[in-house]
Amino acid sequence: MASQCYAVGSKTLVWRRTQGLTLADETPILVLGIETTCDETAAAVIERGGDGQGRILSNIVRSQIEEHAPFGGVVPEIAARAHVDLLDGIVATAMKDAGVTFSQLAGVAAAAGPGLIGGVIVGLTTAKAIALVHDTPLLAVNHLEAHALTPRLTNALAFPYCLFLASGGHTQIVAVLGVGKYVRLGTTVDDALGEAFDKVAKMLGLPYPGGPQVERAAVQGDAARFNFPRPMLGRPDANFSLSGLKTAVRNEASRMTPLEPQDINDLCAGFQVAVLDSIADRLNVGLRLFTEQFGPPTALVAAGGVAANQAIRGALREVAGHARTELVIPPPALCTDNGAMIAWAGAERLALGLTDVLDAPPRARWRLDENIEVPANLANTRASF
Residue 59 contacts Zn ion per CB under 5 A: no
Q: Which residues pair with 54 in a beta bridge?
A: 48
Residue 194 binds which of Zn ion, ligand KG4, none (CB < 5-8 A, kind-dependent): ligand KG4
Residue 167 contacts ligand KG4 per CB under 6 A: yes
Taking only Cα atoms into account, the Rg of the chain, rounded to an integer number of angstroms, comes to: 21
Sign of the alpha-carbon torsion through 345, 350, 354, 356? positive
Residue 198 contacts ligand KG4 per CB under 6 A: yes
Question: Residue 297, CB half-sphere, CA atoms under 13 Å: how many?
Answer: 30
- Residue whose CB is less far from ligand KG4, 283 or 289: 283
Residue 145 contacts Zn ion per CB under 5 A: no
Residue 191 contacts ligand KG4 per CB under 6 A: no
- Residue whose CB is less far from Zn ion, 18 or 154: 154
Residue 231 binds which of ligand KG4, Zn ion, none (CB < 5-8 A, kind-dependent): none
Residue 215 contacts Zn ion per CB under 5 A: no
- Compute the distance between CA of residue 183 and CA of residue 205 in angstroms, rounded to an integer: 38
Residue 378 binds which of Zn ion, ligand KG4, none (CB < 5-8 A, kind-dependent): none
Residue 330 contacts ligand KG4 per CB under 6 A: no
Using a CB cutoff of 8 Å and minimum separation of 24, what contacts does 95-104 make? 95/32, 95/45, 95/58, 96/58, 97/45, 97/57, 97/58, 97/60, 98/30, 98/45, 98/57, 98/58, 99/57, 100/30, 100/45, 100/57, 102/32, 102/130, 102/133, 102/134, 102/136, 103/134, 104/30
Residue 308 contacts ligand KG4 per CB under 6 A: yes
- Compute the distance between CA of residue 50 and CA of residue 66 in angstroms, rounded to an integer: 41
Residue 197 binds which of Zn ion, ligand KG4, none (CB < 5-8 A, kind-dependent): ligand KG4
- Residue whose CB is less far from ligand KG4, 63 or 104: 63
- Residue whose CB is less far from ligand KG4, 137 or 210: 210
With b for 16 or more beta-carbon neighbours within 10 A and e for fewer, the 49-85 pattern comes to eeeeebebbbbbbbebeeebeeeeebbeebbbbbbbe
- Residue whose CB is less far from ligand KG4, 61 or 95: 61
Binding mask 105-124 for Zn ion (x = CB under 5 A): --------------------
Q: How many residues bind Zn ion (CB under 5 A)?
A: 2
CB 63 within 8 A of CB 39: yes
Footprint of Zn ion on residues 275-334 (CB under 5 A)? Answer: none
Residue 167 contacts Zn ion per CB under 5 A: yes
Binding mask 24-53 for ligand KG4 (x = CB under 6 A): --------------x---------------
- Compute the distance between CA of residue 14 and CA of residue 267 in angstroms, rounded to an integer: 57
The CA-to-CA distance between both ends of the chain, in Å, stands at 40
Which residues form the interface with ligand KG4 (CB under 6 A)? 38, 167-169, 194-195, 197-198, 209-212, 215, 304-306, 308-309, 336-337
Which residues form the interface with Zn ion (CB under 5 A)? 167, 337
